[in-house]
Structure 1
Amino acid sequence: MVKKGMKLYQTCCATVKEVEQFVKNHRLHEKKKVYISIFAHEKDERLKREIIQKVQQLLPEATMLQMVGGTFSNQVIVSFMILEEDEASTEQLDEMRKQIEISEQYYKSLFEHNPDIVYSTDLQGNFTSVNPAFEKVFGYRAEEILHTNALDYIKKEDVSRVRRYFYRALKGKVQQYNLEIPTKSGEVYLFQIKNVPIIVNGEKVGIYGIGRDITKQKKAEEKIIYLAYYDTETRLPNRVKFTELLNEAIAEAKKEKRSLAVLFIDMDRFKIINDTIGHYAGDEIIKQIADRLRKVIPDGSYLGRFGGDKFSLLMTQQVDVQRIIEWAKKMLRAIAVPFIYEEKEFFITASIGVSIYPNDGLDAQSLLKNADIAMNRAKQQGGNRIKLYSTKMNEQALYRIELESYLRKALEKDEFFLVYQPLIDLETGAIFGSEALLRWNHPKIGLVSPTEFIPIAEEIGLIHEIGRWVLKEACTQTKKWHDLGLGPLTVSVNVSATQFQQPTFLEDVKWALNVSKLPPHCLNLELTESLMLRNISYSIHVMKQLQALGVKVSIDDFGTGYSSLSYLKSLPIDSLKIDRSFIQQIHEDRSHIAIVKAIITMGYGLRLKVVAEGVETLEQMKLLKRLKCHYAQGYIIFKPLAADEFEKQVMKRERMSNL
């Protein structure tokens, strides 16, 4: 504390001009007796000498009390002690020195002993001082960094933000903000920075910055947040985080009017694993399960863990029952692969329950509850299965699963058969061939529509095997009719896109012809427009090879594609089959008459035969005759017939034509 009769003036200066201004502002040149103390770092010797010279010019009568060194880099502390008496006694001078030293130590502690980084800049943001903590943390020596701009040491994306804080501080407003700052070695620390203006004699001359390292604090906070929202063993979102994600997804789905699916996946009888090999081993297997599920879940999905052996999945893209079932089955298969722990195999199955937004709930709690209910139903039925909360959807899904299971065995159990729909020549009325149509009669569920089982067969890879059987059966039956003297009947066989794209398709056709001994020109393969246009160059290549064998090629459902006309002239085909949608409305819509007429005319121009399918009335057949369509098939002529019934109809027609 400064004693009575003494006055202490103190300033921290970086330039001679600041000292000069300080002396003038405090009118020190008017004081009777001034004692001066200068405190400066050894590195600032030049600045110290310049300040001494200036002070001696301004205060020629002043007494230099002491000049000491320190670590207050690039700043000089100048202390002026004024006595009210004219002269100071030795005792008073000692007291002055003591007071000045105390004051200077207080002043210097701001920099030297502060564990936080402390720095100052001029009005342009150039460093004018840095404390030892700054040098230690960032790895820069003071002489490296002084007089360089502070903005050069932060990330580019933070420059504009920090510049705003700097100018706000210059306006007199203390600024506080968090900033990541890289060190010289490249490490990054998070600091809580405070900027305050440096005011000398009422004038702002720069900025002081004080920074506290909060990196550890931030990491601790992040860890607390992580523990609150994520499962530590699997690193998956926990119940709280998953529910939060579900709420966000529901809000988006509501705006976009789309569906979501929530799946609960619970391991069956997992308690046995824990009781047998212990909870630690059980946790290791749970981690493996989480890893397997991560690898098989669809895009746009979020996997979570609800504790124990229960997982949750949120599906947000292309949500339909069929796709849900497909992905759920993938997850069941992934879990069913044996787990290895300490050289032992463990077999695990799971039960999956599904709820769908908005049908099974409009909020997170309802969807989670209903998925849980569905999962428990799956467990009650023995586990290792999928159950949908919606009864109707569940029945559809179960029916499809059941159908797939039966379909895999249908061929070996001889459950498929063919029916033949006669094709007639519209000019003569004679039956010249048939279209072979696949049917499936299952002993339990009865007749199954091809529209139901063909897509499943394509999806699970059975269509190739079934297609081979159809080709052989149709060719064999047609050759039998030839041998019975029914004439050179032809047979048309539909080819699916998946079957046609098989590299072995051409060999399958050759095999069927070879086994049946049917002349190749009596076989007609029907391909859809979309099938051929999927890979036009490959399709043309295969069709040319078929024609080289003598096999006929026809475009089925013509008129429903998009680009057929531009490719038609280059396709190696023998006939066009007008799609039934045009025939059915040929009397009701004049535009359909125009389309049918145009197709027939085009067929004649390209020397192609034209077949009308789906003929159901006499009026349709008469109109097609007038338009000079070559062939027709449909219910008004014949429904699809079993092989023996087809024989009878051909024989009957022959007898009638001979009368």
Structure 2
Amino acid sequence: MIESILVIGVILYVVCQVVGQCDSLTGLPNRTRLVKQLNKLVYKARRKDAGIAVVMLDLDHFERINEARGSLFGDELLRKISYTLQRYVKEAGTVSRIRADRFGIIFEDVASKNELARLVERIYGLFSKGFFVKGIPVKVTFSAGTALYPYNGDNSIELLKNADTALLQAKETGRNHALHYSQEMNQAVKRRAMLEEHIDGALQRNEFVLSFQPQFALPGGDIRGFAASIRWEHPEAGTVLADELLLIAADAGLMWEIEEWMLKEACEKNREIQKLHLPHSVIAIPISLKSLKQPAFWEEVKRVLRATGMTPDSLVLEVREHELCTGGDVHNELGEELRAIGVTLCLADFGKGYASLHSLKQLPIHRLKIDPLFIGEIGADKTGNTIIQSLITLGHKLGLPVTAAGVETYEQLHYLRALGCDYMQGSLVSKPLPYEELPHLFAILRYKPHALKSEART
């Protein structure tokens, strides 16, 4: 009897140890087990004088999939991703699930950064095919950070920390790519930690500033309005540009407060522009899909329009292609709000590949804005020119005006004009300006033909 109890006790102890080191959703090892495994491999690698690679993967914008499709859909996607990673790694290493949308991989016997880069590149290749979840195709991208024993750490804690640091840098510099750890990243991590700590009170300290980049009609070159962008003038870190600022704000749960401020500030400034300089000035403001889904946001839009006296057709809300096309079925809700209020919705960063012809027909959008990346490819080769031509042609076939963002050269301007592009913005005519400099801009435009005007006359 006592022996049976002891045996049962041992079995329960082993089960508890295993369960406590495994992820209940995917069955993968958790972080605790990963650390133990890495400790063993480091000890083994020291004796063999071998290398070990640590890869941290973080799914890009996974929370949007959960919000749009539900947590059960997200769970099934995570199981499919786990299976794909396990099948790829096999006996070459260990895959673990660190937390909700983060995975850790250890590869044994990796001798160099180049070899590690090839391993990560193959993972990107696997993800590029996408996944089918409950019959629905899902495109998933990820950011990755890597570290290599013994060059980036001689123990498990240091290796994991440095891979995490590289991952954070990858996320901050655009996502959907991998970075290998370097010592310089530590300074960037300290800076990020400081900004995360200080962002909470930045709005009250009036540290946020809007810039205004003029948008011009083609071919005539008349100014149509402005695209607003935000920056953070931090007293220690200096200027924090929009992409980094909004990433930090999203992580801190402050997107709503900041976008609410942007909406109010941009509309107030545009109303002043209308009164003093350009009666029909249109202001374009970047807005997250998360805000567009909130009834409170639309109430705020109506309140701001009433308070400023600005007409709804003077306001353009720009939402990124990736958000709108992967954010689930929000077409009807958005369409109703847009029709009821009368503001314009623009699909920004157009061309990244998330919007199919079918989705463009279904989305309640009124305009397209081509991503600056593609504008920069004009003249580089035939492929770049062909892509731009296809994007503009597609927009026009759908009855949507097209804006080209990031126009920097006359060659780009000539090509866009020849294709019938409707609007442009870019440093060829004007960089983003603080509001205080706009009177000077209008004075120049009034008395001196700018690049678009002079080109239109030739």
Q: Same fold (TM over 0.5)?
A: yes
Which has the larger Rg? 1
- Which of residues 354, 366, 376 in structure 1 aligns to 2:155? 366
Shift of 1:395: 3.1
- Report which stretch shifted further, 501-510 or 490-499: 501-510
- Which of residues 437, 443, 452 in structure 2 aligns to 1:645? 437
User: How is 1:252-401 mapped onto 2 (pairs within 5 angstroms)?
Assistant: 257-259=53-55, 316-317=96-97, 358-359=147-148, 366-367=155-156, 392-401=184-193
Shift of 1:529: 1.7
User: How is 1:168-567 mapped onto 2 (pairs within 5 angstroms)?
Assistant: 215=4, 245-248=37-40, 257-259=53-55, 316-317=96-97, 358-359=147-148, 366-367=155-156, 392-567=184-359
Amino acid at match of 1:366: N
Amino acid at match of 2:290: T
SS of residue paired to 1:653: helix
Relative distance call for 1:394 and 1:574 in structure 2 (3 A) is: same
SS of residue paired to 1:471: helix
Shift of 1:425: 1.0
Name the CA distance, whole Å, in 2 between partners of 1:323 and 1:442. Answer: 33
Which residue of structure 2 lines up, in the alignment, with residue 593 of structure 1?
A: 385
Amino acid at match of 1:475: C
Residues 207 and 234, structure 2, Cα contact 8 Å, conserved in 1: yes
Name the CA distance, whole Å, in 1 between partners of 2:402 and 2:34. Answer: 60
SS of residue paired to 1:546: helix
Residues 441 and 447, structure 1, Cα contact 8 Å, conserved in 2: yes
Name the CA distance, whole Å, in 1 between partners of 2:238 and 2:316. Answer: 30
Name the CA distance, whole Å, in 2 between partners of 1:416 and 1:593. Answer: 37
Shift of 1:604: 2.4
Name the CA distance, whole Å, in 2 between partners of 1:243 and 1:623. Answer: 56
Could you give the per-residue CA deviations for residues 362-410 of structure 1, whole angstroms, max 9, x where no partner exists?
A: 89983469999xxxxxxxxxxxxxxxx9964543332222101111111
Relative distance call for 1:223 and 1:441 in structure 2 (3 A) is: closer
Residues 576 and 611, structure 1, Cα contact 8 Å, conserved in 2: yes
Shift of 1:412: 0.3
Asked if residue 632 in structure 1 is aligned to residue 424 in structure 2, the reply is yes
Name the CA distance, whole Å, in 2 between partners of 1:436 and 1:478. Answer: 10
SS of residue paired to 2:427: coil
Name the CA distance, whole Å, in 1 between partners of 2:211 and 2:367. Answer: 22
Residues 582 and 592, structure 1, Cα contact 8 Å, conserved in 2: yes
Amino acid at match of 2:349: D
Shift of 1:471: 0.4
Name the CA distance, whole Å, in 2 between partners of 1:365 and 1:652. Answer: 61
Name the CA distance, whole Å, in 2 between partners of 1:524 and 1:546. Answer: 11
Residues 458 and 498, structure 1, Cα contact 8 Å, conserved in 2: no
Percentage identity across paired residues of the two chains? 31
Relative distance call for 1:572 and 1:487 in structure 2 (3 A) is: same
Relative distance call for 1:602 and 1:252 in structure 2 (3 A) is: farther
Amino acid at match of 2:324: M
Asked if residue 576 in structure 1 is aligned to residue 349 in structure 2, the reply is no
Residues 260 and 317, structure 1, Cα contact 8 Å, conserved in 2: no
Aligned pair count reads 337
SS of residue paired to 1:258: strand
User: How is 1:10-29 mapped onto 2 (pairs within 5 angstroms)?
Assistant: none
Structure 1: 5+ residue stretches without partners: 1-188, 190-212, 227-240, 262-298, 300-314, 325-355, 373-388
Shift of 1:245: 4.5
Name the CA distance, whole Å, in 2 between partners of 1:504 and 1:636. Answer: 38
Could you give the per-residue CA deviations for residues 628-649 of structure 1, whole angstroms, max 9, x where no partner exists?
A: 1111111111100111222322
TM-score normalised according to structure 2 size: 0.63
Name the CA distance, whole Å, in 2 between partners of 1:242 and 1:581. Answer: 39
SS of residue paired to 1:491: strand
TM-score normalised according to structure 1 size: 0.45
- Which of residues 408, 416, 420 in structure 2 aligns to 1:616? 408
- Which structure features the higher share of helix residues? 2
Shift of 1:318: 5.3
Structure 2: 5+ residue stretches without partners: 16-32, 58-78, 80-94, 105-144, 162-180
SS of residue paired to 1:576: strand
Name the CA distance, whole Å, in 2 between partners of 1:570 and 1:220. Answer: 60
Higher relative contact order (CA 8 A, sep 6+): 2
The two structures, once aligned, show a CA RMSD in angstroms of: 4.3
